[in-house]
Structure 1
Amino acid sequence: MGEETDTNGYYSTTDEKCRVYASLSFAVLLLGIGVPVWWYTTTVPRVALPYSGIDQLSHLETGIRTKIIVAALTRNRAEHLANDIRETFKKSDIYKLNVMHQVISKNLLLSAYTTHNHEKVAATFDLNVGDVLLLESINLKDAVMVGSKRTVFFSTEASSSKIVSVLSKWILRHDALELTRNALAEPTLYSLDEENRRRFPSSPAYDVLLTLVNPDPEELKVDWDLRMVAKGYIEPFLNEFSTISNFSVKSQWLYLLPLDVTPKMIPDSSILGRHYALPEDVLPQLVTPLEKKLASQVSLYPCINLVVYMVPCDSAPLHIYKKTGHRSRTDNNVEAFLSPRWGGVVLTNPPIEACAKSNISLPITVVPEETTIVGTFVAQLRLLLGIPDLEPIYGVTAVPLVDLKPREWEVDALLRIRTVEQLTSAKLTLQSLAQLLKEISNIVITEVVGKRIKNALRSVQESAKSLERGNLLEGFLHSKEAFTMAEAAFSDPSLLALLYFPEDQKYAVYIPLFLPAMIPVLLSFKNIQKYYFSRVSK
C-alpha cells in the first residue's frame, strides 16, 4: 500500500503521526520524569519535626515534688510545723511539697548528745534523693542544726519561722531556683545574681586544670607533689559530683610567668621592713596573662582553672587588700581570689625568714602549705560548681564538712538548680530552633538533627514526669539528656549547609539549563493540539 500524500505532495498521515508521537514522548519524558526528578533532587532535605510538641513546652509544668517529713515529740507541734511549711510554699510554682508529719518517742533522742548520735537516729528514717527530714531533738545547743545527710534537727524552743527559713534558704533554695529559671526565660526582665554569674554553666563534662606557676625558678625551688594533690584531694572531692557531670583533672607547672601588675610597697615592722599590697580591683588583670599561658582549652568542655602562684622574694610578702583598705585574709602566707566562671588563684608567699637570707643561699626551697591551699581550692570549687556559702541565720548551725565531702542536702540542692537550668535551657533551645526552621525553609534538617530534636523533646517530657513523681535524680538525668541533645541539635554544622543558597538562586542556576530544552517541547504542544483536534473535527 502506498503512502498517502496531500494535494501539495507532502506526507500526511504517517509522518505527522510520528512527529506527534515524538513530541508526546519528549513532553512526557521531560515533564513527567525529568522535572519531578529535578525537583526531588534539588529540594532541601528536611525531616519532619514534632512542632506541635515543641509548641506545647511553654505550657509544660515542671514542678519539683519534694517529700518533707516532720518528726516531732508531740502531735500538735508536728501538725503546726507541717501546716506552716505548706502555707509558705502554697503559691510556689517550682515546688510541690508532700509534707508528712509523725510523732516520735522522746526516748529515741535521750542519748543523742553528739552530732554523730543525731545522725545515727536520722539514719533510721527512709530518705531518698531530694527528701528532707525535720527532726525535733531535746539535746541541741542551737535552735536548729543542719546535718550532713538530709536532716534538719530543731530544738523544742525553735520557732516555726526559723525552721521554715532554714528549709527555704538553705535546703530548698526556693528564691535561687526561681531566679535561675526566670533569668534564663526572660533575661531582659531578670538579671542574674552573684551566685548565677559565678557558677559555671551546665555542661556534660568539665576539665579541671591545676597549675603551679613559678615565676623565678632560679630563686625559688618548690618542693610539692602537684600530681598527688590532684589525685589525692581534688579528684575525690569531684567524685562526689559524678552524677551531675564528668570531671577530668589535669595538672601542670609553668615557669617564668610574672604578674602583669606592679603591687604597691607598704613599710611595716616585719623582718623585711615592708610588704606588698595588691588592690582588689586589679585582681581581674592577673587572669589575662595567666589565661594566655595556661593552655586551658584542652577540650570542647569548660575548663575550671585552679592556680597556685609562687610569689618571688622581691614581691613578698604579697597581700590582697579589699576596697575598705583591710586585708582579705589573716593568713600570712596564703592569699586567694576567685574569678567567676574561670577559676581560682592562690598566692603563696615564701617564708619571710628565707627571703631575708635570700642573698646568702639560692635557690630558696619552699614547701607550700598543702592543707591551706587544698582547703582554699575546695572552697572555690564549691562556689564555681554552684554550692554557695550559707546565708547566716541567727541560732542556726551546719555540721562541719567531713573529709572535704559536700553535705548530701547540698548535692540535692545543686541537682535541683541544674535540673531547672537544664530544663529551661533545653525548652528555650528547642523553641528557638523550631521557630528558626519554620521561618527559613532552605535549612537542611538531617536525620541526625531530627533524631536529636525528638530525643530532646522526649527527655524534657520525661524529666517533667519524673519531677512530678518526686524522683529528683531521674528527673535530673532526663534534663541532662535533654540539654545535651538540644544543644547538639542547635549547633549541628549541617544546619548551615544551604543557609546561603535560597530558592531564587536555585531557580537562577537551573532555569538557563532547562529553558532551552523546554521551549521546543512547549511549542510542540501546538502541533499536538492541532493534530488531535483536526482528527476530532473529521
Structure 2
Amino acid sequence: MSTAVDTGGASDLTLRKEAVTASADNAPTAPEPAVGATRKEPPPEKPSDTRRRSWVVASFWIIVLFLGLPIWWHTTSIYRANLPLDRMLEWSDGKACRPVFPLRISLDPGSLQDQEAENLLRLTQHALDDLNDFPAHHLRLQLAQKEAKQGSDVALTIRLTPGESVHTATSSLHPHLPILDVSYPPNSIPTPMSSSSGLATYIAAQLRSNFAEEQNIINYLLESSTAHQEQRSKSVSQDVAQTLSKRVTRSLKYARTYHLTFSLFTNGPSPSSWDIESAIDQYMRPVLDMLAPIHNFTLDTQVQLYAAPGVQSQVLSKEDLSAFINAAEWPLSPSIGGAPTVNFVVYIGNQTIGTEAAETSQSWLIPQWGSVYLLAPPSSVHVASDTLKQPILTFTSHLLSLLGTPQSGSLPLRLSTLTRVRSADLLLRASSSLGSLARLSLALKSISIPSSVADGVAKSMHHLELACASLGNPESLEHAQIAEAEAERAFFEKSMVGQLYFPDEHKIAVYLPLLGPVGVPLVMGLLNELKAWRNRRRQKAKAA
C-alpha cells in the first residue's frame, strides 16, 4: 500500500509568507530624527489674540483700580472729624486761660467822711498789693454804695465802726453774712498826707488771713496741674499739701445734684420709727438752702430692723470701722436718677468708737461715701427729732467736708470760696481732658473721631471761655461744670475708645486671607503680559 503526500498545501503556505515579507519590505519607513535637531515651535500667535489677552488683563486691573479700590476705601475708611488741636493743646498747656480771681471787696466806711474813706481805701489797697504774693488772687477794694444793697459779685464787705479801745483794732466775721466787722480806734484814721496807716495794714492783714486757705487750695490745684505751675506763687508746705491731698481724696466729685439717703438701722425690734423729716428741716435745711446756688439735693429715708453690724464688739477700734457696715444685709439705696448718693446711717446699738486718748466718739466719716453715727438705744419705740439733733448736725458737718468746703471762716465765706475752688478745679480738669484728647488724636492716626466728639469739644471750649471770663462770679461754676462734662464725654466716646485695642496687626490678619487668592493671579497675569510685551519689542528690534 503506497502513501500519497499532498505537496500542494505546503507550497501555498510558503507563497503566502513570501508575499507578506515582500509587502513589508516594500512599505515606506519613518525617517529617524536627526541628532541635535530643535523642538518644533508652535505657530506664531495672531496679533488679534495678543490684543485680546492684553485687554482682558487690563480690564481686570481697571475694574480693581477704578471700581474695587474706591468702593473698598469708601466702605472701610475711618471718619475723623476736624478738631481744633492747636487750640485744645493751648488750653491744656495753660496758654488759653490764666485762672485769675478778681475778688471785689466792698468797704463800708460807716461814719467816716468821704475824704477819710478814700484815703483809707487807697492805703489799704497799697498794703494789700505789697502783701499779695499770689498772682491768681486779685483783691480789689471799692467803696460801698450807701443807697445800693450788697451785690452778688462782692466777695466780702468790710464794715467799719468806731471802737471803744484807743490802742488796737478788732475784727470779727458775721456768722450768717459775708461781712467783716472792723472796730477801729478813733485816732487811727489816716490823714490825706499819710503814706501809711496802721489801720490800713491791719485791714489788709485780716483780708489776707481770711483768704489764706482759698489761696492755698487754688495754689495746690495749680501745682498739681503742670501746665499752670508758673502761676503759683510758691510751693505749699508739705504739711499743707498733705492736708489738702487728704481733703481732695475725701471729697466727692463735683455734681450739680446729690441724693442724700438717711437710714435708721437697729439690732432689735425697737425703735421702729423716727422723726427724721422734722429733724432735717430744723437742723440741716438751712445749710442745704445756702448750698442751693452750688448744689441741688434730693432726699429719701428708710428704716431697717434687726440689722446686724459686721463687728459685734461694743468698743470699736479704728480697724473695726471698715467692717462695721454689713453691705450684704443692709439695703442701702443706690444712686437715683444718675446723681451720686451720699449715705447717712444712724445705727441704734451699744457700740462706741475708741480713740487713742482713751476717749470715745459716736461717728465717723467715710470718704466719698457718707457718714455713720452710733446712737444709744432710746427709751421708746420712736426716735424724736430732739434725739436726732446731734446726729443731723454731725451729718451736716460731714456733708460740707464731703463737698470739699474749706474749714476756716464763716459759712457764707466758706461757700463762696467753695464756688471759686470748684470752678478752678473743673476748669483745670476740662482743659486736661481736651489736651489728652488732642494728644490721642495725634498719636493714633487710625482712630475714628465721630462728629459727636467734635461737637462736644466745641461746646466744651465755648463754656471754658465763658468760665475763664467770669472767674470769681457764681456763673463761672456753671460754665466750668458744662465744659468739664462735655470734655469727659468727648474723651470717653464709646465708638472711639473701642478702636484703641484694634492694632494694625489685626487688620493685616483680616485682609491677607481675602486679598491673597485674588491678588496673586492679577499680579502674575500682569507680569506675564509685561514680559511678553518686552519680548515682542525685542523681536521687532532684531527684525529691523
TM-score, normalised to structure 2's length?
A: 0.74
Find the counterpart in structure 2 of residue 324 from structure 1.
357
Structure 1 residues 206 and 444: CA distance shift in structure 2, 3 A: farther
Shift of residue 175, structure 1, vs aligned partner: 1.2
Out of 46, 59, 66, which is 1:32 matched to?
66
* Of 224, 237, 241, the match for 2:291: 241
Question: Which residue of 1 is the match for residue 224 of structure 2?
Answer: 183
Q: Deviations over 1:435-468 (max 9, x none)?
A: 233223343322222322232233223321222x
Q: Which moved more, 1:76-85 or 1:293-302?
A: 293-302
Is residue 258–residue 341 contact of structure 2 (8 Å, CA) maintained in 1?
yes
Scaled by the length of structure 1, the TM-score of the pair is: 0.75
One-letter identity of the residue aligned with 1:82: Q
CA offset at residue 9 of structure 1?
5.9
The one-letter code matched in structure 1 to 2:88 is: I
5 Å matches for 1:263-342?
263-264=313-314, 277-279=315-317, 282-287=320-325, 289=327, 293-298=331-336, 300-311=338-349, 315=350, 318-328=351-361, 335-342=362-369
2:512 corresponding residue in structure 1: 511
1:66 and 2:103 equivalent?
Answer: yes
Indicate yes or no: 2:178 matched with 1:150: yes
Shift of 1:162: 5.4
User: 1:344 and 2:371 equivalent?
Assistant: yes
Look up the SS of the partner of 2:271 in the other structure: strand
- Aligned match of 1:96: 138
Using the TM superposition, name which of 124-133 and 485-494 deviates more.
Answer: 124-133
8 Å contact kept, 2:464–2:480: yes
Q: Give the aligned residue type for 1:197.
A: T
**1:81-92 equivalence runs, <5 A:** 81-89=124-132, 91-92=133-134
Confirm or deny that 1:45 pairs with 2:79: yes
Tell me the equivalent position of 2:457.
453
Structure 1: runs of 5 or more not aligned? 1-6, 105-120, 265-276, 329-334, 355-362, 392-397, 399-405
What amino acid is the match of 1:252? Q
Please, which runs of 5 or more residues in structure 2 have no aligned partner? 1-40, 186-197, 230-234
User: C-alpha displacement at 1:165, in angstroms?
Assistant: 4.8
C-alpha offsets along residues 413-435 of structure 1, whole Å, 9 cap, x if unaligned? Answer: 11101001111111222222322
Matches within 5 A, 1:210-249: 210-217=262-269, 220-227=270-277, 229=279, 234=284, 237-249=287-299
Which structure has the larger Rg?
2
Alpha-carbon separation, structure 2, partners of 1:236 and 1:493: 42
User: Which residue type is aligned with residue 388 of structure 1?
Assistant: P
- 1:70 is aligned with what amino acid? L
Question: Quick one: structure 1 residues 279 and 350, their matched pair in 2 at CA, closer, same or farther if it must change by over 3 Å?
Answer: same
Distance 1:26 1:238, change over 3 A: farther
- The DSSP-based 3-state class of the residue aligned with 1:499 is helix
**Alignment deviations for residues 180-230 of structure 1 (CA, whole Å, 9 cap, x no partner):** 33235599995534433332222343221111112212xx12442335556
- CA deviations on 1:457-480 (whole Å, 9 max, x unpaired) are 33223321222xx5x223222111
CA distance in 2: counterparts of 1:160 and 1:199, whole angstroms: 37
Q: Give the Cα separation in 2 of the matches to 1:339 and 1:509.
A: 51
**1:282 and 1:84 mapped to 2: Cα distance?**
52
Structure 2 CA distance for partners of 1:454 and 1:246, relative to 1, 3 Å: same
Please say if residues 281 and 323 of structure 1, whose CA atoms lie closer than 8 Å, have aligned partners that are also in contact: no
- 2:122 maps to what in 1? 79
Q: Does the C-alpha gap of structure 1 residues 496 and 140 become closer, same or farther in structure 2, counting only changes over 3 Å?
A: farther
* Distance of aligned partners of 1:248 and 1:530 in 2 relative to their CA distance in 1, 3 Å threshold: farther
Does 2:431 correspond to 1:389? no
Q: Show the 5 A alignment for 1:477-488.
A: 477-488=478-489
C-alpha spacing 1:505/1:284, structure 2 compared with 1 (3 Å): closer
Separation (CA, whole Å) in 2 of partners of 1:182 and 1:288: 39
Q: In structure 2, do the counterparts of structure 1 residues 289 and 504 end up closer, same or farther at CA, with 3 Å as the change threshold?
A: closer
Partner of 2:247: 195
Query: Does structure 1 conserve the Cα–Cα contact (< 8 Å) formed by 2:105 and 2:158?
Result: yes
**Compared with structure 1, are the counterparts of its residues 87 and 528 closer, same or farther at alpha carbon in structure 2 (3 Å cutoff)?**
same
Q: Quick check: 60-69 or 296-305, which moved more? A: 296-305
Distance 1:152 1:22, change over 3 A: same
Amino acid at match of 1:255: L
CA separation of 1:236/1:247 partners in 2, compared to 1, >3 Å: closer, same or farther?
A: same
| Aligned residues with identical type, % of pairs | 22
Whether contact under 8 Å (1:346, 1:373) holds in the other structure is yes
Per-residue CA distance 1:287-338 (angstroms, 9 max, x = gap): 4658964244556443211111122xxx2xx54443222344xxxxxx3322
Question: Conserved in 2, the CA contact under 8 Å of 1:259 and 1:289?
Answer: no
The answer to which structure, 1 or 2, has the higher relative contact order (CA under 8 A, 6+ apart) is 1
RMSD: 3.6
Cross-structure match for 2:53: 19
> How many matched pairs?
461
Q: Paired residue for 2:259? A: 207
Structure 1 residue 279: deviation in Å?
A: 4.3
Q: Compute the displacement of 1:30 (Å).
A: 0.4
| CA–CA separation in structure 2 for the residues paired with 1:140 and 1:30 | 99
The equivalences for 1:405-424 within 5 A come to 407=412, 409-424=413-428
Match of 1:167 among 196, 207, 210: 207
